[in-house]
Amino acid sequence: MKISDKAIGYFSLLALLGLFAGIAYGMFEAHEKVTYKAYVDFKELGSLQPEDPVVIRGYTVGTIGKVTWLGDRARVEIKFDEPRTIREGTKFNNVNYAIMGQRRLEIVPNKNGKVLPEDFIHQGNFEPGIAEALRYMEDVNEQLNHVREVITLITEGDSTHKSVKEIYETVMQTTEGILDNADKTLDKLSPAIKQLVGQLNQAANSVADMANQVDTTVKVTTDALNEKIAQADSAIHAITEGTKKAEQIIATIESTPAVDKLLNTKDLVDRANDLVKKTQALIAAIDTKGVKMYDDQGKEVRLFTWKNTNLIGKTAREKAKLRAEKGESLPDSGPAESE
């Protein structure tokens, strides 16, 4: 089969395209293998965006890759054109380098720090530029407008608020009225105040007199109390002396031979027994039938006599009571009347 020149041309063209594609892919793979990446966090990003340049001492060494927003900060990926060694202490500054607000990332390397790994998260510094200054100026102008409105409201007022001048005049009028009323009130209260002061002076004098009287009373009471305390001490001393004397008497009695004989002999007991026997004999001598009593010799003893018996008049006890009520004294001699 004979191949035409046209087909040979197509095949040649495809072969060249494939060769160029392979070379390009190989260069891309080689570039990807040697590219070194770094990650920097910024609290404020400004207008920095992907493909913005990354420079060291003014020379471009890479570009900004992917930018990720993490809520309170932005994480920026840096793609270097060639491998770079980043040490501890290296600074990453987000700066404005053009009049239209363009930004780039400037790296200030440190040669003496410890080498950091590729996945280490660096902290970047944001430097305000022209755009930020213009934004700040807008904020300042807005604040100045608010201040101007407040000043206008204070000086001139509006439909719902009075001006400072009007408020001042109102306050001054109110103050003058209060002072006038206060003067009038003081004039009215002056007599009452004088009377009150006089009463206070009189009360103070009375309190002073009362204090003097209280001092005198306290002194008298104290003297009387001291006297009673002295009497109580004397009584206690007398009781103590009496107790000592009683103890001495008891000791004397215990040491007396007669008392010892009385306590240790049976004479008193024998006499008591003899008295009991005589009492029993006397009871036995009573004639229960005739209610009679006889003595030791057998003679009858009368239990009741009519002598000195008063059945009609007052008894001797009643008469004695009567004389005691009248304040009379008892007779010196003579036997007492019996009931």
Digit-coded pLDDT (tens) for 229-270 = 777 677 777 777 777 776 777 777 667 666 566 566 666 667
Give the residues across from 126 on adjacent strands: 94
Would you say 95 and 104 are in contact if contact means Cβ atoms under 8 Å apart?
yes
Give the residues across from 74 on adjacent strands: 42, 69
- The per-residue pLDDT for 337 is 43
Residue 335 confidence class, pLDDT cut points 50, 70, 90: very low
- The per-residue pLDDT for 204 is 73
Q: What size, in residues, is the chain? A: 339
pLDDT over threshold 60, residue 322: yes
The DSSP-derived string for 44-76 is --TT--TT-EEEETTEEEEEEEEEEE-SSSEEE
- The per-residue pLDDT for 39 is 94
Q: Mean pLDDT across the stretch 312-328?
A: 70
- Which residue, 37, 126, 119, is CA-closest to 73? 126
Q: Is the pTM of this model over 0.85?
A: no
Q: Put residue 114 in one of left, alpha, beta given phi > 0 → left and psi -120 to 50 → alpha.
A: beta
- The per-residue pLDDT for 332 is 47
- The per-residue pLDDT for 34 is 46
Report pLDDT digits (tens) over 188-205: 767 777 777 777 777 777
- The per-residue pLDDT for 310 is 53
- The per-residue pLDDT for 188 is 73
Buried b (16+ CB within 10 A) or exposed e, 40-56: bbbeebbebeeebbbeb
Residue 115 DSSP symbol: B
pLDDT over threshold 80, residue 297: no
Higher pLDDT, 336 or 160: 160
For residue 27, give Cα distances in angstroms to 17, 19, 31, 80, 253: 15, 12, 6, 16, 145
Residue 50 confidence class, pLDDT cut points 50, 70, 90: very high
Q: Mean pLDDT across the stretch 3-28?
A: 82
Q: Mean pLDDT across the stretch 145-165?
A: 74
Would you say 116 and 88 are in contact if contact means Cβ atoms under 8 Å apart?
yes
